[in-house]
């Protein structure tokens, strides 16, 4: 099969012919019909993730069709088991299915988790493996297209769980989204659908404009501002403070500004990655005590939690494809991945192998 291969961190990846994957016992091989380009893929390409071993195939947001079944998936699972030809997606965190966290239903923090595009070869390819299908595979409704499904695997599921399950966002509350890339814009769209007032924070005029089109009530340009100044501008835009704030980018400045923009008893949700290679951030934790703030983390969403989000898409109340600003093939995906650090752009690049 053809795949985007990273042979040296920071060097432009190339599209090569590589061996076809083989379905492991209990797992499947999925023909990739669409896959999203995410900033997490850029971190892997840049060498910020210690799990990535070269040579490597990135990509972790996928939608496709089951092409082959591993041992143990021979139809004995009954009508609920996977079958060749099923349209499917999967979370970017794949649970082992047996550890304490998985048994509790928290596969997104599995003690032995695997991640396509990070711990093993991912979806910037014509085919990808999804291990332990019973735990990790999500069958798609006919009403949810491949492009929409590909965007759910990281950005929309991450934003949905961060806002609803972790941040406990309620209608009428005010939320800030720091960083309006794929995850951030997903959060804007979902928060507006939940009846919240949204303040979008991003240095890109195009990203702020897109956030406004998705329903953000106000936008803040952090360019040239210290984190405390950003927080002040956000509080002003919010009319006095935030109930919930998301750092959807992942940096010392965005994390600090997110915390500092909250009203007392507010909830900060850290969604953007803070890679170990970039050092631990110094943030104003004194504010957490003084304001009795909640400092929360959110890391994807387990496969069993997909139905409410899929129902939103299937009903037409949520259209992830409005974020797609460019669609490319594998060669275009390789170029877009390498360019992402210097020119991240607005919206989402979708790769169709």
Name all domains of the chain by residue range, CATH numbers in brackets: 2-155+301-351 (3.90.180.10), 168-297 (3.40.50.720)
Nearest to 130 by CA among 153, 152, 156, 147: 153
- Residues 6 or more apart from 242 whose CB is under 8 A from it? 174, 175, 176, 199, 234, 235, 261, 262, 263, 266
Which are the contacts of 142, defined by CB distance < 8 A and separation ≥ 6?
87
* pTM of the full structure: 0.89
Whether the bond between 55 and the residue before it is cis, its omega within 30 degrees of 0, is yes
Report the DSSP pairing between strands 138-139 and 87-89: antiparallel
Residue carrying structure tokens 């703030």: 293
Tokens representing 185 are 């814009």
pLDDT at 273: 81
Q: What is the DSSP string of 204-219?
A: -HHHHHHHHHTT-SEE
- Name the strand (E) or helix (H) holding 44: helix 39-46
pLDDT digits (tens), the chain, 353 positions: 999 999 999 999 999 999 999 999 999 999 999 999 988 899 899 998 888 999 999 999 999 999 999 999 865 455 578 999 999 999 999 999 999 999 999 999 999 999 999 999 999 999 999 999 999 999 999 999 999 999 998 889 999 999 999 999 999 999 999 999 889 999 999 999 999 999 999 999 999 999 999 999 999 999 999 999 999 999 999 999 899 999 999 999 999 999 999 999 999 999 998 766 666 778 888 999 999 999 999 999 999 999 999 999 999 999 999 989 899 999 999 999 999 877 656 778 999 99
The pLDDT, as a whole number, for residue 261 is 97
d(CA 331, CA 124) in angstroms, rounded, equals: 10
> 314: which DSSP letter?
H
The SS3 of residue 187 is: helix
Which pLDDT score, from 0 to 100, does residue 275 have?
A: 67
């Amino acid at each position: 099969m053809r795949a985007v291969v990273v042979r040296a961190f920071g060097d432009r990846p190339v599209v090569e012919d590589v061996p076809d994957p083989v379905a492991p016992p209990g797992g499947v091989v999925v023909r990739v019909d669409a896959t999203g380009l995410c900033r997490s893929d850029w971190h892997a390409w840049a060498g910020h993730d210690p799990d990535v071993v070269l040579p490597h195939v990135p990509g972790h947001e996928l939608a496709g069709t089951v092409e082959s079944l591993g041992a143990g998936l021979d139809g004995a699972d009954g009508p609920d088991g996977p079958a060749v030809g099923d349209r499917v997606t999967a979370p970017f965190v794949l649970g082992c299915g047996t550890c304490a966290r998985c048994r509790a239903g928290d596969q997104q923090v599995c003690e032995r988790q695997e991640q396509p595009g990070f711990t093993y070869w991912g979806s910037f390819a014509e085919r990808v493996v999804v291990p332990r299908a019973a735990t990790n595979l999500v069958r798609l409704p006919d009403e949810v297209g491949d492009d929409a499904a590909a965007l759910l695997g990281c950005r929309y599921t991450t934003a949905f769980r961060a806002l609803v399950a972790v941040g406990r966002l309620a209608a009428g509350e005010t939320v800030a989204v720091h960083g309006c890339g794929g995850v951030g814009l997903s959060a804007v769209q979902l928060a507006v659908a939940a009846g919240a007032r949204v303040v979008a924070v991003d240095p890109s005029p195009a990203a702020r404009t897109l956030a406004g089109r998705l329903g953000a009530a106000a936008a803040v340009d952090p360019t040239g501002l210290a984190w405390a100044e950003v927080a002040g501008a956000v509080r002003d835009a919010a009319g006095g403070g935030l109930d919930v704030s998301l750092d959807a980018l992942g940096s010392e400045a965005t994390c600090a500004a997110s915390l500092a923009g909250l009203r007392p008893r507010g909830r900060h949700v850290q969604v953007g990655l803070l890679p170990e290679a970039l050092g631990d951030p110094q943030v104003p934790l004194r504010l957490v005590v003084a304001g009795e703030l909640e400092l929360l983390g959110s890391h994807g969403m387990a496969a069993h939690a997909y139905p409410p989000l899929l129902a939103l898409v299937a009903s037409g109340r949520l259209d992830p494809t409005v974020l797609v600003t460019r669609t490319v093939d594998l060669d275009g995906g390789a170029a877009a991945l390498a360019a992402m650090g210097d020119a991240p752009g607005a919206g989402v690049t979708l790769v169709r192998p």
